Amino acid sequence: MSSPARSGDIIHLNVGGKRFSTSRQTLTWVPDSFFSSLLSGRISTLKDETGAIFIDRDPSLFATILNFLRTKELHPRSINVHMLMHEAEFYGITPLVRKLQLCDELDRSSCGNVLFNGYLPPPVYPAKRRNRHSVAGSQFMAGRAVPMERAPVRRSNTMPPNLGNSGILGRMSGEERTSAGPSSDPGLVRIICGHHNWIAVAYAQFVVCYRVKESTGWQQVFTSPRLDWMIDRVALNAKVMGGSLGDNDKMVAVASVTEIILWAICPDGNGNEIGVFSLNVPAEALFFVGNQLIATSHTGKVGVWNAVTKHWQNQDVVPISSYDTAGSFLILGCNNGSIYYIDVQKFPLRMKDNDLLVTELYRDPTEDAITALSVYLTPKTSDSGNWIEIAYGTSSGTVRVIVQHPETVGSGPQLFQTFSVHRSPVTKIML
C-alpha cells in the first residue's frame, strides 16, 4: 500500500459505481471517522481501474453526506432521515448523526400527535335534582308541568387554581365513594359531545357544558343538577335558530334507559329544565335535528320533541336498524328493507290519530334489512329543489346508491348503483 498522501491531496472515490472527488481535509475533519481510518491506512482499500478508492455503499446518500462534510449544513426536507442516519453511522460522522437524531425526534409522534390546548378540571359536585314525574305528549301540551328550576352556574378559566377538596371527589361522602363501583364513579367522564364552540361533558349523574372563545379560552357555563340515575346518552345543540327559544339559547339533553331530560341554557348560563320525557323503551340514540330533539330505539320507537309546539311525541315504526339525518329530515333504515323519512321541522301529524307522518321513501329490491345509511342532501336553491343521494348497506353485504332529482320527486328515488361488498351485514357506510 502506498504511503498516505499529504493534507492537500485530491481524493478520488468510487461509491457504488459513481465517482466523487474531494479533498483529504474535507473527508477527515471529523476525527475517528471511516474516512480518517481509511486514509490513514488503518482500513485496507480497494481501488477501481482508474485508481479511485471503491466504497460499496449507496451513492445518492453519500452525496448528501459529502455535502455535509463540505458545508456543515443539512437540508432534512429532501432526505429520508432514517436511511441517511444509518449511512452516517456507518461512516462515523458523529455531528451528522446528532443532527439527524434531532430531526427524527421532531418528526416522531408525541402524546398521540395531540397539541395541548387546555385542561378542564373536575367541576364542583352539584346539588341533587328534585324529583319530578315524567311528562309525555299530551300531558306536556296541556301546559307547564312544574315551575322551571334554575341550575347552578359554575365558571372557570382554562387553567384555574387547584380546586383541592372542592372538586367532585372532595365533595363525595365516604359512604358514597365506597359504594360506587367503576361504572358509577362520579368523577369519571363518561361521554363528550360537541357542537360549534360548545362541548357537553357527561359524568355519572350530571352534565357540564363548556364553551370556548378566542379571547378567554374554555369557560364552564352550565352544570345540571345531580340526577338519580346514570347518564347513558347526551345531545347538544349550540345553535338554536328561531322558535320559542331565543336564538342565543342552547339546548342540552341527557338520557338514561327510557328517561330523557332536556334543558335550555340561557346566555347568562342559567339552565331552565324544559321537561322530562319517556320513550317507554331504552333510548339507543339521542341527537338534535335542527331545534328538534330525537330519541330512537332499535325496537321501532321514535321520540320527537318539537321546539315550536313544545310537544313530545312517541311514534311506533318498523324496528330500526340504522338512521341518518339530512336537513330537517330524519331518515330511518328498517329491518323490513324499507327506508322511511320524517320531516321533524314541520312535525306533521295525521289528522285521524295524531300519529307522526312517517313516509316510505324507498324499499330495497331484495327486502334485506337496511343496516347502514349515509345521506347527502344538496342545499335548496331558487332554481331547483333538493337533490338527495342515499348510500345504504344491507344485512346481506350489499351496498346500493339511490338518487332523487328535483324533476323526479313524484316518482321517488331511483336505484343508481349496486355493489356486493361483503358476505356479512354492512355496519358503516359514508357517502
- Mean of the pLDDT values across residues 29-33? 90
Residue 40, CA distances (Å) to 35, 54, 143, 410 in order = 8, 16, 99, 90
The model's pTM: 0.63
pLDDT digits (tens, 9 = 90+) for 351-383: 556 677 888 999 999 999 999 999 998 876 656
- Mean of the pLDDT values across residues 110-118? 70
pLDDT of residue 353: 62
* Mean pLDDT for all residues in the chain: 81
CB contact at 8 A, 11 and 39: yes
Dist CA 96 CA 108 (whole Å):
18
Which one-letter DSSP state was computed for residue 308? Answer: T
pLDDT of residue 291: 87
Pairwise pLDDT comparison (351 vs 125), residue with the higher score: 125
Task: Tally helices (H) and strands (E) across the chain.
Answer: 8, 23
pLDDT classification of 174: cutoffs 50, 70, 90: very low
Dist CA 200 CA 223 (whole Å):
10
Q: What is the DSSP string of 407-424?
A: GGGGG--EEEEEEE--SS
Dist CA 206 CA 129 (whole Å):
10
Instruction: Answer yes or no: is pLDDT of 89 > 80.
Output: yes
Domains delineated in the chain: 10-110 (3.30.710.10), 119-284 (no CATH), 317-431 (2.130.10.10)
Dist CA 118 CA 162 (whole Å):
14
What residue has cell string 328561531?
242
Q: What is the DSSP string of 67-127?
A: HHHHHS---GGGS-HHHHHHHHHHHT-HHHHHHHHHHHHHHS--GGGPPP----PPPPPPP
pLDDT of residue 245: 62
pLDDT of residue 356: 76
pLDDT of residue 179: 40
Q: Give the helix/strand (H/E) hosting 324.
A: strand 320-326
pLDDT of residue 278: 95
pLDDT classification of 247: cutoffs 50, 70, 90: low
* 115 DSSP β-pair partners: none
Dist CA 58 CA 77 (whole Å):
19
Residue 263, CA distances (Å) to 142, 172, 260, 274, 275 in order = 19, 25, 10, 5, 7
pLDDT classification of 331: cutoffs 50, 70, 90: very high
